[in-house]
């Protein structure tokens, strides 16, 4: 993977923080793309498809994360992820339709 | 090698493989696996993850069907956490590179995540620790399979190491395979301690936390005499303890020869040796050692083992078994001797800030007369089958004794009316274990058929010390001159009126005090069945004149330490093989 990964800043909007259900939605969503996505918080890097690791980031409300996507569908994955964060993790029709 | 100091509650030495129970009663297995077993163990891990995953998926479907999708989401999250690649990688690395057993790897890893979440400030994350534990347990259950039953299904000798064992868990220990046990919590007054003595296996309680330093299968030594637990012992230590265990065995064989010889002093004074028991099966220990009867049958277990109050028949069956087994030799039943906090079916006490000074024992029995009557009725009915005596514990005033006797008289009347058979001459006595009873002993002896001095409580109340409190336990001492003076008062008053008196606390089971007690005029010892041979040995070696001289000198001394050292020396001179 020579090329630099695509990145996107994310902000946790929901009051509960990146808790179990939210972490699960993230993992579920990213599982639909070929791209490999890493979530980064203050230097801690975790696999975006791994619920336990996302939880261990302990991202609370108003905290910022960075998503780094590489490989095929990197941009699509990041766009879908950003939409999920923007919609406060409500699994809306649009996010469901965006699957790859 | 690491030595831990705990509280010695049951003597002897046990050397064996550890069986480690965690706080939730899970059996923690071996920590390491052999190098050539790694592939097999990895396979076992994967199978366990797969079947745990399948279980979660089934739960998810069932809950989704019954309650709706949103409730099933938690299981979906569990499934995804379990199947995360990082977790699997971490577990595999521990097994492959560090040769951890899969079970150990799972507990280590999940505990780390649980701790991580617990430390987080945000409430929502801290509560995730429970989810982590839930997944851990599911995975462990799958890994351990049948082996998780822990204590109930043993097939080889072990020493049990646990955070805590409840009295009924202790009582149900498999006596064929459990060679000894250690708990991190607990103290000498606890019921677990009493049961350990009853099982006659070495036990140490209250060591403080150590379970994370040991794993299943490790070699552990329990020194029940010194209250020591030795983890990872070196060769020299193992050899030393093996030697000691060997000597104890040969001493036991030697003492066994005393079984059919009478307990009498060298100058012909007959001494009565009785056994203290808690469970009906212990009556066999008494018979096997040639006891003259049961001096103390504690009945608390009937209450502790059951969810609801035991009915009259439960009492009756237990008492009958003991009375019949003793074949006409006396059996002294001590009535209910618990605090309200220990009995699940009684209402929670309101003001119990000091349970030892609170509503317990005879006080509680007199507040719950129907319950008290059930026990007395069963005891009286059992008296038709042998030589049974009834004893009231913790009597502190004459009024209490009279009230208890009135309840008993009432039950007697009832049985007579219904023409139910019982022994009309059943002896009625009391425990002397509160200083107030000692001070009023002249009055008490006129109203009872016998007395039994309970030194465990007497020492505690005389010196105002809680012996489970390590900061003050040093004050708790049977050899304290104040305690000896109270015992002296009671023995004098009872002997003068020819009221039989025995001593049933731990003091009477300790050969260190046998000469002193004989010298004070005690002729009836009620002891842990396993101590009968040793006490008999001392009795048969000494003369009463000799003991009286020892006692005269002891009563001139001013502190417990001098008295104990003196007694040690005197015992060593006469019976070197059992001197401490």
**C-alpha span between B202 and B199 (Å, rounded):** 9
Q: Give the chain B residue nearest A16 (alpha carbons).
A: B124
pLDDT at position B124, please? 64
Boundary residue ending a domain (B149, B166, B201) = B149
B89 burial (CB, 10 Å; 0-12 / 13-18 / 19+) is exposed
- Give the model confidence (pLDDT) of A3-62 as tens digits: 678 899 999 988 888 888 888 889 989 989 999 999 999 999 999 989 889 988 888 888
What mean pLDDT do residues B537-555 have? 97
CATH of the domain at B391: 3.20.20.60
Domain count for chain A: 1
Same domain, B225 and B266: no
Same domain, B340 and B358: yes
Give percent of chain B with pLDDT exceeding 90.
56
**C-alpha span between B459 and B477 (Å, rounded):** 7
**C-alpha span between B538 and B532 (Å, rounded):** 10
Domain count for chain B: 3
Tally the residues of chain A. 100
CB B275 within 8 A of CB B528: yes
Tally the residues of chain B. 580
CB B319 within 8 A of CB B333: yes
Same domain, B334 and B371: yes
Q: Does A46 touch chain B (CB under 8 A)?
A: yes
**C-alpha span between B257 and B260 (Å, rounded):** 7
Which chain A residues contact residue B113 at CB under 8 A? 52, 56
User: Is B454 inside a domain boundary?
Assistant: yes
Q: Is the pLDDT of residue B31 over 80?
A: no
Q: Does A23 touch chain B (CB under 8 A)?
A: yes
Q: Does A83 touch chain B (CB under 8 A)?
A: no
Q: Phi then psi for B228, rounded to 5 degrees?
A: -105, 145
Q: What is the CA radius of gyration of chain A?
A: 12
Distance (Å) from the alpha carbon of A55 to chain B's nearest alpha carbon = 8
User: Is A92 inside a domain boundary?
Assistant: no
**C-alpha span between B334 and B391 (Å, rounded):** 5
Nearest alpha carbon to residue B523 among B497, B552, B494, B560? B494
Same domain, B293 and B197: no
Q: Is the pLDDT of residue B166 over 90?
A: no
- Is B213 in a helix, a strand, or coil? helix
Report the 10 Å Cβ neighbour count for B418: 7
CATH of the domain at B175: 3.50.30.10
Averaged pLDDT score across all residues of chain B: 89
Distance (Å) from the alpha carbon of A88 to chain B's nearest alpha carbon = 16
Report the 10 Å Cβ neighbour count for B149: 12
CATH of the domain at A46: 3.30.1340.10
Domain that holds residue B241: 2-25+153-250
Q: Is the pLDDT of residue B425 over 70?
A: yes
Boundary residue ending a domain (B219, B250, B281) = B250
B204's CB contacts (< 8 A; 6+ apart) are: B6, B7, B8, B9, B181, B182, B183, B222, B223, B224, B227, B228, B229
Across the interface, whether the CB atoms of A20 and B77 are under 8 A apart is answered: yes
Nearest alpha carbon to residue B130 among A26, A63, A55? A55
Same domain, B548 and B455: yes
- Tell me the helix, strand and coil percentages in chain B, rounded to 5: 55, 15, 30
ipTM (interface predicted TM) = 0.79
- Is B156 in a helix, a strand, or coil? coil
Same domain, B348 and B479: yes
- Residue A19 annotated among the catalytic residues of the structure: yes
**C-alpha span between B305 and B449 (Å, rounded):** 31
Of A27, A51, A60, the CB nearest to B122: A60
Q: Does B117 touch chain A (CB under 8 A)?
A: yes
pLDDT at position B152, please? 64
User: Is A38 inside a domain boundary?
Assistant: yes
- Give the model confidence (pLDDT) of B127-145 as tens digits: 677 788 788 888 888 887 6
Structure tokens, A96: 């469901």
């Amino acid at each position: 993977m020579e090329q630099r990964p695509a990145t996107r800043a994310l902000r946790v909007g929901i009051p509960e923080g990146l808790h179990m259900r939210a972490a699960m939605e993230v993992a579920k969503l990213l599982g639909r793309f070929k791209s490999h996505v890493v979530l980064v918080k203050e230097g801690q890097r975790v696999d975006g498809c791994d619920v336990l690791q996302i939880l261990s980031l302990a991202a609370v409300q108003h905290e910022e994360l960075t998503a780094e996507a590489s490989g095929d569908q990197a941009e699509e994955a990041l766009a879908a992820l950003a939409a999920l964060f923007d919609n406060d993790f409500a699994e809306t029709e649009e996010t469901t339709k965006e699957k790859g | 090698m690491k030595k831990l100091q705990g509280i010695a509650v049951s003597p002897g030495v046990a050397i064996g493989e550890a069986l480690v129970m965690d706080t939730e009663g899970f059996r923690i297995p071996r920590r390491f696996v052999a190098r050539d077993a790694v592939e097999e163990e990895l396979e076992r891990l994967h199978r366990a993850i797969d079947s745990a995953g399948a279980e979660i998926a089934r739960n998810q479907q069932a809950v989704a069907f019954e309650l709706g999708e949103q409730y099933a989401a938690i299981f979906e999250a569990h499934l995804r956490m379990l199947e995360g690649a990082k977790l699997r990688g971490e577990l595999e690395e521990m097994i492959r590179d560090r040769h951890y057993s899969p079970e150990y790897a799972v507990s280590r890893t999940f505990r780390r995540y649980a701790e991580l979440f617990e430390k987080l400030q945000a409430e929502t994350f801290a509560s995730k620790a429970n989810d982590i534990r839930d997944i851990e347990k599911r995975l462990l259950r799958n890994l351990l399979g049948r082996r998780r039953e822990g204590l109930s299904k043993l097939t080889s000798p072990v020493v049990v190491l646990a955070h805590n064992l409840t009295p009924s868990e202790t009582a149900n220990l498999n006596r064929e395979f459990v060679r000894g046990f250690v708990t991190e919590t607990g103290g000498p007054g606890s019921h677990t301690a009493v049961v350990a003595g009853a099982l006659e296996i070495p036990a140490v309680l209250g060591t403080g936390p150590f379970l994370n330093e040991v794993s299943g299968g490790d070699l552990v030594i329990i020194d029940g005499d010194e209250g020591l637990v030795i983890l990872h012992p070196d060769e020299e230590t193992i050899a030393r303890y093996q030697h000691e265990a060997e000597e104890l065995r040969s001493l036991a064989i030697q003492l066994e020869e005393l079984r059919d010889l009478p307990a009498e002093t060298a100058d012909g004074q007959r001494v009565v040796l009785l056994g203290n028991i808690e469970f009906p099966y212990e009556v066999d220990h008494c018979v096997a050692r040639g006891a003259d009867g049961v001096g103390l049958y504690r009945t608390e277990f009937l209450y502790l083992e059951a969810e609801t109050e035991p009915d009259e028949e439960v009492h009756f069956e237990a008492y009958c078994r003991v009375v019949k087994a003793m074949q006409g030799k006396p059996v002294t039943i001590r009535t209910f001797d618990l605090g309200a906090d220990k009995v699940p079916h009684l209402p929670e006490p309101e003001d119990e800030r000091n349970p030892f000074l609170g509503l317990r024992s005879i006080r509680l029995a007199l507040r719950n007369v129907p319950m008290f009557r059930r026990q007395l009725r069963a005891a009286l009915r059992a008296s038709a089958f042998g030589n049974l005596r009834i004893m009231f514990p913790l009597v502190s005033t004459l009024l209490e004794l009279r009230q208890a006797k009135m309840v008993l008289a009432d039950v007697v009347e009832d049985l007579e009316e219904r023409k139910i058979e019982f022994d009309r001459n059943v002896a009625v006595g009391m425990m002397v274990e509160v200083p107030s009873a000692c001070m009023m002993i002249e009055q008490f002896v006129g109203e009872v058929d016998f007395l039994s001095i309970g030194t465990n409580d007497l020492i505690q109340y005389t010196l105002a010390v809680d012996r489970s409190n390590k900061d003050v336990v040093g004050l708790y001492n049977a050899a304290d001159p104040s305690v000896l003076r109270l015992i002296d008062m009671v023995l004098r008053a009872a002997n003068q009126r020819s009221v039989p008196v025995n001593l049933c606390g731990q003091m009477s089971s300790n050969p260190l005090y046998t000469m002193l007690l004989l010298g004070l005029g005690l002729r009836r010892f009620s002891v842990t069945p396993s101590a009968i041979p040793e006490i008999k040995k001392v009795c048969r070696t000494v003369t009463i004149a000799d003991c009286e001289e020892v006692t005269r000198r002891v009563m001139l001394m001013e502190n417990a330490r001098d008295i104990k050292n003196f007694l040690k020396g005197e015992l060593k001179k006469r019976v070197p093989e059992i001197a401490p």
